[in-house]
Structure 1
């Protein structure tokens, strides 16, 4: 009959140590320091996948979206839903690539560490050629604004409670009527008197509109600083 082992000693009195053993042999444990590079590599790959396909952080550099967004705010941008054919809608706050000539040349290049961390999405993008504005009109719309406003889309006045206090809907730049081409967007900042948006680029290709393909995604939440955490609803 086979003896039972209890507490490392068989009932027959024989010593059989089971501490750290399997079949009488000590199990070898992998060193933490050997596993660390693997864990870091997995974390970086996951961060890169999330940043590429799902969510990316962006830093607000200016006051063009006040008071909705303040300089230094960090927003999270949804890059996932466009994969399912979702298109930008009126009232959404979107991040998009500079169509060309909207931004001055970068004054300072990010260092190597900043480039790596922003590449995998661990810090806001180091690419200063991205802008954030609100979609006012989409392809097929006719948009205009004269005098003290309001902004009109397809002849109807747009309710814009998000405009910076003291600003007029047109700011200092009345425009239109402008027929927005299909597949393009008319965008404006909430701080109308401090935003170089579609109004100021009507002499460029696209007539001040941007291509939907240049849109990175919709900003859906202010993630940082903590005391300013707030979702960004779509204002229609």
Structure 2
């Protein structure tokens, strides 16, 4: 995948660095549906300008990962700023929502697609890889199997997605504490191996949710207008523990 530099040239904070805060940004929130997204199956989406703003280009962004890793919860948190308590029934098919994010003074419209992670729906999601501009690949830090399956997901991405697609690996449910089954360092190592960006997120608390989408948006802008790779460093939010124990985090 070509959106990231090689390991030797990558800044360490391309991967999660909880001592850094999310960059200032603004977003135009759309009115959410009861489930947090709209169920729809339109034809393939290609980069295009919106009708209401000639300066905003639509970028198809897909959430991927095993069933139950929190894709829908992450999308609802990003769209509404709230965590929807309770269990979602396994998402059937594909739904999407639109949101405009402003990064570094540039408006980026993300058309975010929530996919079904169950094996029987893989043939459906494969068709959506081909014209995707960004992929957020989630695993559940409390579920080792979902992490072990990331290699298979990345294999599918290599087979079906564009070579220059922006990829970000997200370890979700980082608020789970003692239930954790996957260490952050494991996620970092895997991300370095595949040369993709990485963060841990919490759809429940909102930790790094907006920061993750902002990084994706910034990467899309940089891909269209190449700049110094050091500007693409992920800026993750500090955890509560780090705020209280680490002077540089204050």
TM-score, normalised via structure 1 length: 0.25
More helix by share: 2
Structure with higher RCO (Cα < 8 A, 6+ apart):
2
Bigger proportion of residues as strand? 1
Provide TM-score, normalisation by structure 2. 0.24
Structure with bigger gyration radius: 1
